[in-house]
Chains A and B, each alone.
Chain A
Amino acid sequence: MARLRIEGRELTLGWQLGAAFGVLVAVALARSAIQAFDVGPLLMVTIGVVGPVIGVAVGIATVRSLRGPLEHVRQTLGRLASGDLTARASVAGPAEVRAVVRSLNSLADQTELLQRKEDERRRGEQLERDVALAVGRHLDLDKVMRAAVDLLGPCLHVDRVNIRLLGESQPAIAAEWTAPGVTPDDEALAAAAPPSLVRLVQDSFAQNEMVVIGDVETDSRLAPEDVNMLRTFPIRSLVVCLLRVGHDAVGVLTLQMANEPRHWSAVELTMIDSLAGEIGIAIDHALTYRREQEVVTRLEELDQAKTDFVSSVSHELRTPLTSIMGYVEMLEDGDAGELTSEQHAMVEIVERNSRRLLTLIEDLLTLSRVEAGRFRLSIGRVSVAGVIENAALAVRPAAHAKSIALATDVASDVGDIDGDAGQLERALLNLLSNAVKFTPDGGRVTVSAQNVEEEIEIAVTDTGIGIPLEEQTALFKRFFRSSTSQQLAVEGTGLGLAIVKTVIELHGGDVTVESTPGEGTTVRVRLPEHIESAARVEEGARQ
């Protein structure tokens, strides 16, 4: 209604203008006629009547010729303003109006182009973000490439997208996406390697450029026989782009149209270039990750091989030891006749050193079993006092030889605990022999046990040479030997404490060391009275 009213007013205005114009023309004509011809009043009257009529007629004609085209322009402007950038006015009406319409259309053309570019740019940025997000989400190489082609294909409206990895061998297609109904690219193209296309790709890559072929049928850079070959795949249009990380190329990205030529706009190509950068980085990360995984696997295999080796060598050593110890035993038993005391002393040395060798083999085997996750405790109720007693008994001869006073002090409330008696005894014996080994002649070694906060604490204290503070943390590592033990040429392998720690920890306990160089060392072992479950022991064994 408002519109009609406005039109009505315009119309009225048109009439009024036309009439006013007519009157003015009539008056002017009358005046000039009077002046020029001195016409009579009749003529004056005639003119007075005809003038306004002409004026009105002219007014009507003017309004009619302007009204249609201007209205059309007005409507077109309205559509453009409301966002329909495809709206154009048709060129019609008076020359001036036509000029206006042409300017308007040209302006609309430019606006639409700008808008399209802006949209494309924004789409490109969004796609770039999506691709970066999608490929960055994975560390697995195949997933990275899968994500990239799956996203690029539909977004870039191509028929095929594929990625080939460069490197080891012939770059086979590592990932591909094809539009529905499009036959996948196959290795046939790579195998056929159309020479002019290969040359084009090589030249472009050498100059750090991508290959853009809008239409293979019209591209003069391609040889006719190669075009024939491309036609059979079919490939009509393609973009080939290096996936680069810095100066290193990791792969090649190919975008193809199967049957239709395509104009690849500058904006699109810039976008493809950026996307190739994102994908290149993601592939590089995945490749790095894969290489690291391979290194880890290799190291694990080496570690396993080492464990197996130690285990098999230890086993192999046991057979000759069986003979050495067995025949020595026969000699000692007098099976080959009575030995002189000198011979007996010598045989005893052989026997003792065989035992040492055996202990070393046992330790190596134990550690290899621990590492292979095959070390198991056989848990039962163990008398702490009994374990201490046995260990002290075993080390007493060595202590006696060095005039070391060996004392045991087990509190009366220390009873039985859950544990593997053999392994606990072995651990304690290890600690005691260390104490004796590192205590000078005439010193003192004490082993005590007491209840501390519902745990049993066993402490082995000596008045030995002590351990430098900076070496105390490394003490329980395999093959660690303190500087003092090396200076004093105390024999040992550095395996003992590593085994002690393993055994105690498998029992759910821990071992700590306090030592003052020159004064002595105390090793404290804490053991829970109950091992919560067998599962925990199993778990510990597998670590």
Chain B
Amino acid sequence: VIDHEAPVLVVEDDDDVRKLVMIRLERLGFPVRGAATGEAGLESAQAEPPQLLLLDIYLPGIDGWEVLRRLRENEQLARTPVLVISVRDPNGDPFEVDGYLVKPFRAAEIEAMVTRIMGRDGEGIS
């Protein structure tokens, strides 16, 4: 069950991009949390399980795939929908995710992706 009160978590090391994405998500009406590293992101997710995770892959310290691996190992967080923010096209990635947001992206793309994932999951429940 999607908790619409739960935050959308944005893990992105570039401050400007993280802020941009967070503003866009706030405009869509989501409560938003941000993290600049994978470790911080995991901490935030454990403290406050998100309804959706937007995850950059190239991160300082543990990378996005490692974040995803640890997330999937966590029973409580394993089923969190994940949207990967990437600089490249998906190609031979180690994990299946719910979508890719390829940089640079427009506001409309974020909106379409998030709506699609949330909407699809909503249908799954009903």
| A positions within 8 Å CB-CB of B | 315-316, 318-327, 329-330, 333, 335, 354, 358, 374
Contact = CB atoms under 8 A, between A and B. Distances in A.
Contact of B88 (A315, A326, A335): A315
Interface in B69-121: 87-88, 91, 103-107
B16 A323 contact: yes
A326 B87 contact: no
Contacts, number: 46
Nearest to B92: A374
Given A318-B87, A319-B103, A323-B20, 5 more contacts: A315-B88, A326-B104, A326-B105, A327-B20, A335-B23
A326 B16 CA distance: 10
A323 B107 CA distance: 12
B16 A329 contact: no
B93 to A, nearest CB: 14
B88 A329 contact: no
A430 B53 CA distance: 37
Nearest to A357: B104
Contacts of B58: 315
Nearest to B106: A329
B107 A322 contact: no
B107 A321 contact: no
A329 B24 CA distance: 11
Given A315-B88, A318-B104, A333-B107, A326 B14 contact: no
Nearest to A358: B104
B17 interface: yes
Given A329-B106, A358-B104, A322 B88 contact: no
B41 to A, nearest CB: 17
A322 B23 contact: no
Nearest to B58: A315
Contacts of B14: 319, 322-323
26 contacts: A315-B58, A315-B88, A316-B87, A318-B103, A319-B14, A319-B87, A319-B103, A320-B16, A321-B104, A322-B20, A322-B105, A323-B14, A323-B20, A325-B104, A325-B106, A326-B17, A326-B20, A326-B24, A326-B104, A326-B106, A327-B16, A327-B20, A329-B106, A330-B107, A354-B104, A374-B91
A330 B104 contact: no
Interface in B1-45: 14, 16-17, 20, 23-24
- What 8 pairs between A and B have smallest CB-CB spacing? A322-B104, A323-B16, A315-B87, A326-B20, A318-B103, A322-B103, A318-B87, A321-B104
Nearest to B91: A374
A315 B107 CA distance: 20
